A and B are shown apart, each in its own frame.
Chain A
């Protein structure tokens, strides 16, 4: 179709140049990663790809929405009606809670207690769902253009998503709780038992699940228990829902060891907007 009349010498010279450049870039990347950074070519390449990734993600989301709308029109109308009722009920609850809050604040001030400030959050949009060898990595962009920082906690309204592992201005990469390299200190809401929460490979479990390992002392954990981030965690702020226990197993090797499977609180397969908590530890 095109001219393919390159001489063997030209091809050989080109391949040698490419190989040398490839070795140099690989070495550069290796050194940068050892220093906990990204090499300049990586940052530049990401800058070029991110707008296209964002556009592709939006297009896929729009296509999905259209398909769902077309196939579930009737149930969506019903869901919409229920959600409107829910909004009305929640608005009423909000007014009541606001009254309680003001009353509580007033009482605290009268008692001389410090009134804690609100958690500072930044809304962000997901611009890509990348897959890395360890699991999914999200790329997010803050909606108001504010800079994101490495270590920021990322959550949805339902619960914990993960934390930012690399950031360039308003764009950051999020390691999800289901990533193989992720672990979080959790606490069982009912019994206050401390537990380390690790991911399970989705290939093993068929869906993104977490598991509790190394329960401290007498493990008191049941199906339906809510696992929250622990105040012992150096990474996350406390009391963010991690997930709900869906199964408790006793390991075959030792009856004293519990293995509790946890369904993440956040819906990890349908994430569009997230909240970045900048006041994380």
Chain B
């Protein structure tokens, strides 16, 4: 289990690093996918609410530091995303990739709304366009990211017989 948590911690930091190193030629309308948020969501879905919330907490710190962003709004969205995804993963949420994609779309839209409330942009429609493009690009990139997290989780999780 320790190896799994360490691996997920490394992958979370790597996701945030890649998000903030996203090259212009891969950007969709000057926006980058929120890979850090997708990583938190994936950890929540794979490992549960506790791991999701903790991943959200540290993910918010790394995302705020790397992107020179205020921490307050990121804590709300990241911890909330990890916790809610983890809480619902064994109930409403299945481990299907499509569910992860839809969840990531909702999470990014919620994160954009929180950002809109806490740091209102000077113009609404450019913000709306940016938010929509971010939601779409994050939804696309959530497919490989979540699949990777799920595969790592399945690989490093002890078999039930080991208990």
A: which residues have CB within 8 A of B?
1-4, 6, 10-11, 14-15, 18-19, 21-22, 25-26, 29-30, 38, 41-46, 48-49, 52-57, 60-61, 64, 127-133, 137, 166, 173, 201-204, 269-270
B23 touches A49 (CB 8 A): no
B65 touches A25 (CB 8 A): no
CA distance A169 to B89 in the complex (A): 44
- 6 nearest interchain CB pairs? A45-B65, A52-B17, A56-B21, A4-B48, A22-B75, A42-B65
A56 touches B62 (CB 8 A): no
B23: contacting residue among A43, A46, A48, A60, CB under 8 A? A60
By size class, the interface of chain B is 35 or more
B70 touches A29 (CB 8 A): yes
Known: A22-B71, A48-B62. A11 touches B49 (CB 8 A): yes
A132 touches B67 (CB 8 A): yes
B residues near A173, Cβ cutoff 8 Å:
68
Prevailing SS type, chain B contact patch: helix
B1, B23, B30, B68: which has the most chain A beta carbons within 10 Å? B68
A1 touches B153 (CB 8 A): yes
A18, A132, A137: which has the most chain B beta carbons within 10 Å? A18
Residue of B nearest to A3 (CB): B48
Could you write out 28 A-B pairs with CB less than 8 Å apart? A1-B95, A2-B47, A4-B49, A10-B50, A14-B50, A22-B72, A22-B79, A29-B70, A30-B70, A45-B66, A49-B13, A49-B20, A49-B66, A54-B21, A55-B17, A56-B14, A60-B21, A129-B20, A130-B66, A130-B68, A132-B67, A132-B68, A133-B69, A133-B119, A137-B67, A201-B126, A269-B24, A270-B24
CA distance A128 to B67 in the complex (A): 10
B residues near A61, Cβ cutoff 8 Å:
23
Known: A41-B65, A201-B126. A57 touches B21 (CB 8 A): yes
B83: contacting residue among A15, A21, A49, A270, CB under 8 A? A15
| Least Cβ–Cβ distance between A188 and chain B, in angstroms | 28
A48 touches B13 (CB 8 A): yes
| Least Cβ–Cβ distance between A246 and chain B, in angstroms | 19
CA distance A10 to B119 in the complex (A): 33
Does B64 make an interface contact (CB < 8 A)?
yes
Q: Mark B12-40, 1 if CB is under 8 A from A, else 0.
A: 01101110111111100111100000000
B residues near A10, Cβ cutoff 8 Å:
50
A56 touches B17 (CB 8 A): yes
A residues near B157, Cβ cutoff 8 Å:
1-2
Residue of A nearest to B150 (CB): A1
A203: contacting residue among B16, B46, B71, B126, CB under 8 A? B126
A26 touches B75 (CB 8 A): yes
Q: Mark B45-64, 1 if CB is under 8 A from A, else 0.
A: 01111110110010011101
